[in-house]
Amino acid sequence: MTRYPRWKFFLLVAVLAVCGLYAMPNLYPDAPAIQITSAQAGGEVDERAMSRLRSALDDAGIVYSDAERVGTSWLLPLSDSEAQQRARELAQRTLGRDYVVAQNLAPTTPDWLRRINASPMNLGLDLRGGVHFLLQVDMDTAIEQRLESWVSEMRLLLRDENIRYRDVTHEGQTITARFDSSADLDAANSRVRDQFRGFNISRDNDNNALVLNLSNEEIAKIQDYAVDQNRTALNNRVNELGVAEPVVQRQGADRIVVQLPGVQDASQARRILGRTATLEFRLVADDVDPRRAASGIAPPGTEIYPFKRDDRNPVILRRQNIVTGDQVTNATMGFDENGQPEVNISLNSAGARNMQRVTSRNINKPMGVLFIETRTDIEHITNEDGEREQRATTTREAYVINVANIRDTLGSRFRITGLDSPAEAGELALLLRAGGLAAPIYIAEERSVGPSLGADNIKAGLNSMMLGLALVLVFMVLRYKVFGVIANIALVGNLVILVGVMSMIPGATLTLPGIAGIVLTVGMAVDANVLIFERIRQEMKWNNLPPLQAIEAGYGRAFQTILDANITTLIVAVILFAAGTGSVQGFAVTLFIGIVSSMFTAIVGTRAMVDLIYGGRQRAPTALSI
C-alpha cells in the first residue's frame, strides 16, 4: 500500500475545518425579536425613538437584549415569543405610525463567527411559517387599458391636426381609424405613422381606414412595464405591511411571487396585495342640472357616479381629471378639527401644477373626489373542448367619496375628508402611498404555513434525521467493525460539510423536503463505503490478497463504479432543481450537495483514516477488522 499523499490530508482537514466553522451558526437558535423600520421608504430609525421604546419596555417589565442595527432597521431580540407579541404591540403604540414594527427572528450567532460572515441556513416558509403568493398579472386588461389610452391619444392628435375622422375604435389588439375621404386618410397616415411607432400600420383604401396592429415588441413592452410596475407597487405595499425579509419577485412573463415569512394573518396580506384603488380629482359639472343624474344619461363630456353613501344623490362629474392617484407622493391619515378622519395628501410637481391651474380658475366651484377600486375575480368555465379554463373578470367600482367647494387655490398639499372611519382613512392612505397597480392581479397560487406547523416540521425533520442517522451508524459498526467506525466518521463529516455548504451559499434555502434530502443522503452516502469495503473483503477472501493490497485494490477498483452510480443521482437532482418549485428545489439542492460531499468523504476521507490506522505500522497487518 502506497503512502497516502500528504496534500490530501491537508485538503481533507481544510475542507472539514472551513465547513465546520460555517456550519456552527446553526447551533445557535434564532431568538424571537421585533424589527423596527421607518415608515418612510429609506428613512432612518431615530435614536430618540429607540430610547423611548427601551424605557417603555422597561416600564412594562419586558426583558430584551441589545438592539442591533440591520440595514436601516433595528432588531430587538426578546426572551420568548410571548414577550415578542407583547413587545410588538407596545412598540407600535409607543412609536406610532412613523415606524413599522414587525415580528422577526434575530440570529444569536456569536461575534467571532459573524466577523467571518458565517450565518445559519435560510429556512423555507414551510419551516418558519409564512405566506407564499403567486400572483397572476391580467395581461389582457393591461393591453386593453393601454389601447384605450392610445385611442384617445389618436383622437387628440387628429383633432389637433384638424383632420376630420369618422371614428376611432379598437378591438383585440387593433385600432381602426375611419375617415370620410381618402384625402383625410392621406393626411392622417403620415402623422399617425410618426406618433404610433409601436404599431404595424396598414391602409385600408376600400373603407378609407387606417388599421393599426400592435406589434409583438410593443406587446412585450406593455407586459414588461405592467409586471415591473406591479412588482414595484407590491413591494411598496409589502413594506407597508411591516414584514421582515419579504420577497417580491417577478416569475416568468406575467407572474409575481410574493413571500412573506412569519406573517400570520394571511387575509390582511391578501386584502392589501390584491386591491387596486386610486383616486381621481375632478370638477363637478355644475352647469348641468343635478336632477339629470337620476335619468342615468350623462351629457357629453361628463359622467355620472353614485355617491358613496346612499342617502345622497349621484354626482355628475366632468370627464377630465385634475389629478390622479399616481401623482400622489405621500398620503397620511389624520384627524380634522372635529375629530373626523381625513387623509393628508402631497402631490408631485406635475400634479401640483395642474391642481393649482384648475383650482385658481374655479374658486367657489365644487370639486369631487372619485374613488376607483378594481377587483379581479376568477371564474371557472369549461370551454368547447371540455377543458377547464380560468378566466379573470375585472370589476371596476367607482364612487364619489367627497364633494367640496374649492375655497382657495390648492397646491401640492391638501386634504380630503368624508371618510367613514379611521380604519378606512388609514387603508386609503396606504393604498395611495403604495401606488396603484398598472394591471389587475389575481392569486394563482397560495401556500401559507402557520408558525406552529413550521415548528412541528422542523421537529419532524430533525427527529427523522436523528433516528435515521442512529440506525445507519449502528448498522455500519455491526457490519464492518473498525471500518464501520471509519465510515461513520466520514458520514458525520459529510453532514458537517453539507450543513456548512448550505449555510455558505446565500441563496440556498432549507425546506422540509430538503431535510428529507439530507436524510436520504445519510442512507445513500454509505453506499460508496459499502462498495469499497465489500471489494476489500472479496479481494482478501477470493483472491487471497494481503490486507494492504486488498485495501489498495478495493479503493482503486471501486472508484469508477461509485462515480458512475452517483452521476445518475446528480443528473436527477439537476432536473429536479430546474423543473421543480420552492420546496422541491430544496430537496434537489440538499441531494446534490449531499451526493458530492459524500463522494469526497467516503473516498478521500475514509482512505485517509484507513491509512492512518493500517498504513503507518512497522509490520504490515495480517488481518483487517472489516
Partner 1 sequence: MAIATPETNVNFMRVAKPLGILSIVLVLASIFLLATKGLNFGLDFTGGTVVEVGAPEDISLSVVREALSEGGYDAAVVQHFGSSRDVMVRIPPGESDEPDQAGLEVFELIGGVVPDLDLRRVEFVGPQVGDELRDQSGLAMLMAMGLMLLYVWFRFTNKFGVATVAALLHDVIVVLGLFALFQWSFDLTVLAAVLALIGYSLNDSIVVADHIRDDFRNSRMTDPTDIINQALNRTLSRTVITSLTTLLVLVALYLFGGEIMRGFSMALMAGVVVGTYSSIYVASNVLMLMNVHKEDFLVPQQEELDEMP
Binding region for partner 1 (CB under 8 A) out of 215-223, 316-324, 329-337, 514-522: 514-522
Question: Smallest gap, in angstroms, from Cβ of residue 593 to partner 1?
Answer: 14
Binding string, residues 426-465; x marks residues near partner 1 by CB under 8 A: ----------------xxxxxxxxx-xx--xx--xx-xxx
Rank residues 156 and 253 by Cβ distance to partner 1 and give the closer one.
253
Question: Smallest gap, in angstroms, from Cβ of residue 222 to partner 1?
Answer: 21
Amino acid at 434: A
Closest by Cα among 552, 479, 566 to 521: 566
Out of 583, 597, 598, 601, the residue judged to bind partner 1 by CB under 8 A: 583
Rank residues 220 and 462 by Cβ distance to partner 1 and give the closer one.
462
Q: Compute the distance between CA of residue 302 and CA of residue 292 in angstroms, rounded to an integer.
A: 11
Rank residues 366 and 580 by Cβ distance to partner 1 and give the closer one.
580
Binding region for partner 1 (CB under 8 A) out of 159-167, 405-413, 414-422, 530-538: 530-538
User: Residue 555, interface with partner 1 (CB under 8 A)?
Assistant: yes
Out of 534, 546, 614, 621, the residue judged to bind partner 1 by CB under 8 A: 534
**147 and 175 in contact (C-beta within 8 Å)?**
yes
Binding string, residues 327-366; x marks residues near partner 1 by CB under 8 A: ----------------------------------------
Which residues 263-282 are close enough to bind partner 1 by CB under 8 A?
Answer: 266-267, 270
Which residues 100-129 are close enough to bind partner 1 by CB under 8 A?
Answer: 126
User: Residue 188, interface with partner 1 (CB under 8 A)?
Assistant: no
Binding region for partner 1 (CB under 8 A) out of 227-235, 278-286, 294-302, 585-593: 585-593
**554 and 474 in contact (C-beta within 8 Å)?**
no
DSSP letters spanning 505-548: STT-EE-HHHHHHHHHHHHHHHHHHHHHHHHHHHHHHTS---HH
Residues near 407 by beta carbon (within 8 Å), at least 6 away in sequence: 363, 364
Rank residues 218 and 611 by Cβ distance to partner 1 and give the closer one.
611
User: Residue 260, interface with partner 1 (CB under 8 A)?
Assistant: no
Q: Characterise 544 by phi-psi region: left (phi > 0), alpha (psi -120 to 50), beta (else).
A: left
In angstroms, how far is CA 259 from the centroid of its own chain? 4
Question: Smallest gap, in angstroms, from Cβ of residue 13 to partner 1?
Answer: 17
**58 and 64 in contact (C-beta within 8 Å)?**
no
Out of 185, 210, 355, 526, the residue judged to bind partner 1 by CB under 8 A: 526
Question: Smallest gap, in angstroms, from Cβ of residue 396 to partner 1?
Answer: 17
Length of the chain: 626
DSSP letters spanning 115-167: TTT--PPEEPHHHH-EEEEEEEE-HHHHHHHHHHHHHHHHHHHHHHTT---SE
User: Residue 603, interface with partner 1 (CB under 8 A)?
Assistant: yes
Where do we find the cell 403604495?
A: 434
**How many residues sit in the footprint of partner 1 (CB under 8 A)?**
88
**45 and 72 in contact (C-beta within 8 Å)?**
yes
User: Residue 559, interface with partner 1 (CB under 8 A)?
Assistant: yes
Q: Compute the distance between CA of residue 438 and CA of residue 137 in angstroms, rounded to an integer.
A: 9
Where do we find the cell 391580467?
A: 138
What are the grid coordinates assigned to 130, written together? 409564512
Rank residues 126 and 280 by Cβ distance to partner 1 and give the closer one.
126
Q: Which CA distances in Å does 319 have to 277, 282, 284, 307, 420?
A: 19, 7, 9, 16, 26
**590 and 515 in contact (C-beta within 8 Å)?**
yes
What are the grid coordinates assigned to 330, written together? 405621500
Binding string, residues 477-496; x marks residues near partner 1 by CB under 8 A: -xx-----------------
Out of 181, 390, 393, 625, the residue judged to bind partner 1 by CB under 8 A: 390
**369 and 399 in contact (C-beta within 8 Å)?**
no
User: Residue 519, interface with partner 1 (CB under 8 A)?
Assistant: yes
Question: Smallest gap, in angstroms, from Cβ of residue 103 to partner 1?
Answer: 17
Q: Compute the distance between CA of residue 521 and CA of residue 550 in angstroms, rounded to an integer.
A: 27
Where do we find the cell 430533525?
A: 462
What are the grid coordinates assigned to 13, written together? 482537514
What are the grid coordinates assigned to 405, written together? 367647494
Binding region for partner 1 (CB under 8 A) out of 146-154, 187-195, 346-354, 527-535: 527-535
Amino acid at 542: W
Which residues 35-64 are close enough to bind partner 1 by CB under 8 A?
Answer: none
User: Residue 572, interface with partner 1 (CB under 8 A)?
Assistant: yes
H or E element that contains 194: helix 182-195
Rank residues 184 and 539 by Cβ distance to partner 1 and give the closer one.
539
Binding string, residues 136-155; x marks residues near partner 1 by CB under 8 A: x-------------------
Residues near 552 by beta carbon (within 8 Å), at least 6 away in sequence: 1, 2
User: Residue 17, interface with partner 1 (CB under 8 A)?
Assistant: no
Rank residues 144 and 527 by Cβ distance to partner 1 and give the closer one.
527
Which residues 63-82 are close enough to bind partner 1 by CB under 8 A?
Answer: none
Question: Smallest gap, in angstroms, from Cβ of residue 456 to partner 1?
Answer: 7
Question: Smallest gap, in angstroms, from Cβ of residue 317 to partner 1?
Answer: 31
What are the grid coordinates assigned to 459, written together? 421537529
Rank residues 367 and 551 by Cβ distance to partner 1 and give the closer one.
551
365 backbone dihedrals φ, ψ, rounded to 5°: -105, 155
Point out which residues pair with 458 in neighbouring strands. Answer: none
Out of 578, 616, 618, 622, the residue judged to bind partner 1 by CB under 8 A: 578
Out of 162, 295, 364, 560, the residue judged to bind partner 1 by CB under 8 A: 560
User: Residue 538, interface with partner 1 (CB under 8 A)?
Assistant: yes
Out of 331, 576, 593, 626, the residue judged to bind partner 1 by CB under 8 A: 576
